[in-house]
Structure 1
């Protein structure tokens, strides 16, 4: 226990001295303080803000997969109006007309109508017949 205290005291002495044993460090010269420059004030540039104004739309009609959908949206400031439609798996076309504004909030009206043509169902592939083959006989050979 005494040994641990002696070692601890030696480490503390070295840490306070700042130099290792048997080493005489050259005298350090302290440089003159550096002149401090005041920070440059930031100027905040306000960008002009205009109300949002856009028209957006897309449509997909893939006869191979039966994927058919579309959307169109118009925004003028805080007023949004639009609609989208898609073919549901039950063969009906769902059309949703929606509108949103600060006074009425979001409102949507859904219409469903049957399609004249039944949707194309994915074609199931018939797997090739599986032939049963006998497994090769295992030969136990000694390779020692």
Structure 2
């Protein structure tokens, strides 16, 4: 009951005229900057070539407004290099040309080396031959 009375008191005091505002308000002279959207314009490229791991890939792209052009490539597991060259002009959609360099190679299967075990497995439970349980009367 005391909590209800205290909450009512807080509501009445907060709504009373002349009560200072606890929030932050912007000054009346504040005017947000107009939003301006310039046409997109950028260019980037990257490449990775790491012979020990076999990673060889890259990408380059440039855009000026609604026109985008670029290409990317990747070394495939079969040894070929796949390259994709693409363009996008406005709402025309993504137009791509895919080419391959090299000949696909599929090496013959070589099973993994598996050495034969050199240990003798030990049974988890070995009964002790001299032990014979006997009933205990008390």
Into which bin does the TM-score normalised by the smaller protein fall? 0.5 to 0.7
Shift of 1:127: 5.1
The structure-2 alpha-carbon separation of the partners of 1:46 and 1:127, relative to structure 1 and needing over 3 Å to count, comes to farther
Deviations 1:44-102 (A, max 9, x none): 32243221111111111111111111110001112110000011122211100001111
| Structure-2-length-normalised TM-score | 0.59
2:17 corresponds, among 33, 54, 57, to 33
CA contact (8 A) 1:91 1:114 kept: yes
Structural mapping, 1:1-144, within 5 Å: 33-34=17-18, 43-114=31-102, 126=113, 129-130=116-117, 131-135=119-123, 137-138=125-126
The structure-2 alpha-carbon separation of the partners of 1:115 and 1:57, relative to structure 1 and needing over 3 Å to count, comes to farther
Distance in 2 of aligned mates of 1:30 and 1:95: 72
- Structure showing greater radius of gyration is 1
SS of residue in 2 equivalent to 1:133: coil
The structure-2 alpha-carbon separation of the partners of 1:39 and 1:48, relative to structure 1 and needing over 3 Å to count, comes to closer
Distance in 2 of aligned mates of 1:45 and 1:65: 51
| Structure-1-length-normalised TM-score | 0.57
Aligned residues: 114
Long gaps (5+) in structure 2: 6-11, 134-138
SS of residue in 1 equivalent to 2:71: strand
Q: Runs in 1 of length 4+ with deviation above 6 angstroms?
A: 35-42
Please report the RMSD computed on the Cα atoms of aligned residues, expressed in angstroms.
3.9
